[in-house]
Structure 1
């Protein structure tokens, strides 16, 4: 008698929830990348212009305009005539949280042996897709590792 092959697919509802979570993370990642870049441009250059965002993101200016419009609707970005883009309080909070997640991810990837360039590049995507549980585990790992002398 042959036995049934092991089940490889999770229940449909669980799988659908995971895919929905992934799509939401993708949408959120774009907003976080934009507000983080705007914050960096404001800090480094004193202004954040759409042309600079397009150049640094590697996208066309109409793409930036559409994304900035969505960020304005979401209450994260303000525009001022002839003065570029600015972050609202909510935008500043999103940028700070994104920066903290990015830095945590880089530190974790360095701690597990990645070189700095790869860690920085990989953190750019992973930071948006790691769950809060995973990020907390990474932070605990780093704390434990730090208390053991590295």
Structure 2
């Protein structure tokens, strides 16, 4: 390990600009997709639990106002992930169902990985909600392999 300089900074040089830009681009894209994935996963859960996903239920579960949900549902409709039917709630398209399944699987893998590290199940559940959106396929596969190797 290198000693920090007097300024408190390490002697490690910055990565080249192209790699730096790519890292930040990936982080921005993950943040953009995070909310979309959270919505479709919740809609899928609500439909699975009660047969329908209503705007009021989505707002209550996410802790946001109904106009916020309405704005996001419009975006999800525009992206072809959900369909809204008057007086019948919100339904996922095939693309929405696929995205919800992928998000759920990533969450499951991250949660199992954290538990395999010794994190309590409740903390792992909470922490996985967020981490799941920010890991690459390579890292996710390493998490999965580690958790499976630990019997997780």
TM-score (norm 2): 0.90
Deviation at 1:46, TM superposition (A): 1.4
Tell me the SS of whatever aligns to 2:91.
Answer: strand
Deviation at 1:143, TM superposition (A): 2.5
Query: Is structure 2 residue 130 aligned with structure 1 residue 105?
Result: no
1:44 to 33, 43, 49: 49
Q: Which residue of the partner structure matches residue 70 of structure 2?
A: 65
Between 79-88 and 56-65, the greater mean CA deviation after superposition: 56-65
Aligned-partner Cα distance in 2 for 1:76–1:120 = 25
Superposition pairs of residues 1-150 of structure 1, within 5 angstroms: 6-146=11-151
Deviation at 1:145, TM superposition (A): 2.3
Tell me the SS of whatever aligns to 1:128.
Answer: coil
Deviation at 1:17, TM superposition (A): 1.2
Tell me the SS of whatever aligns to 1:22.
Answer: helix
Runs of 4 or more off by more than 6 Å in structure 1?
A: none
Deviation at 1:25, TM superposition (A): 0.2
TM-score (norm 1): 0.91
Tell me the SS of whatever aligns to 2:133.
Answer: helix
Aligned-partner Cα distance in 2 for 1:8–1:119 = 34
- Greater fraction of residues in helix: 1
- Render the CA deviation track for 1:4-52: whole Å, top value 9, x for unaligned: 9734321122111111110100011111000000000001111101111
Tell me the SS of whatever aligns to 1:32.
Answer: helix
The runs of 5 or more residues in structure 2 that have no matched partner are none
The runs of 5 or more residues in structure 1 that have no matched partner are none
Deviation at 1:96, TM superposition (A): 0.5
